Amino acid sequence: MVLAYEFMPNGTLDDHLHRGVTFLSWLQRLKICVGAARGLQYLHTGSSTQHGVIHRDVKMSNILLESEFDAKISDFGLAKVGTINHTRTHVSTLVKRTFGYMDPCYFYTGKLTRKYGVYVFGAVLFEVLSGRQAVDQTLDEDQWSLAVWTQDHFKEGRLNEIIDHGLIGQISRKCLKEFASLAVFCLHDQQRPTMAEVTVKLESILSRERESAGFVAVDTRFFNKTKQNQGDANSCRGKQIEPS
């Protein structure tokens, strides 16, 4: 038996974030997050008028990248189908997951809802921002879980320590705070956004960061704009993060 996949020239997100194939810029990472969010949104609500799909195994190695770094979700071996007529609708299952992306609510109750997918995506967002693995036991014990470690730093106002060092100078302060706040919101014990809300927010952050960086998207490629056109007061023009 074999599984046939569409060829993905850029491999997986894991290849770039953790295996050193290439270093992804902040704009590339945001674009990938938007694509993955759209995919999960479609699974949750867009594939049927009555049923949605909960992936249950979203992680770096299951986010595939096309030639222009458009993201696609893969590997549905643990996916479950459930009704989508109410946010509290759940499927009772044996707890299965990849360690490091576990929603505590799902772990303790065994009740699988779309909110589980939102939690996992919040962990993915922090992994993209930090460049660190979801679980790394080579670090001190209080840093093993990336989701816990990043949330603690967010509460303490220490966002600069979360960022992948190679991204320093690429992220505006305002958009950094918005991105981290969204990730924390996704990881909340109870009140989490829908994937539709997550997608809209990420699209907004990406749009403003492109403007702030002086780029405009045309046919999926980026072209420099002249400096005279960079006066949009609504773009994220906070002070850039500089190395400490």
- The residues that are catalytic are 57
> 61, 71 in Cβ contact below 8 A?
no
How far apart (Å, rounded) are the C-alpha atoms in residues 144 and 135? 5
Q: How does DSSP assign 24-76, residue by residue?
A: PPHHHHHHHHHHHHHHHHIIIIIS-SSEEEE-S---GGGEEE-TT--EEE---
Q: In sequence order, what E strands does the chain have?
A: 51-54, 63-65, 71-73, 80-83, 91-92, 111-112, 215-218, 221-224
Residue listed under structure tokens 């997918």: 117
> 184, 122 in Cβ contact below 8 A?
yes
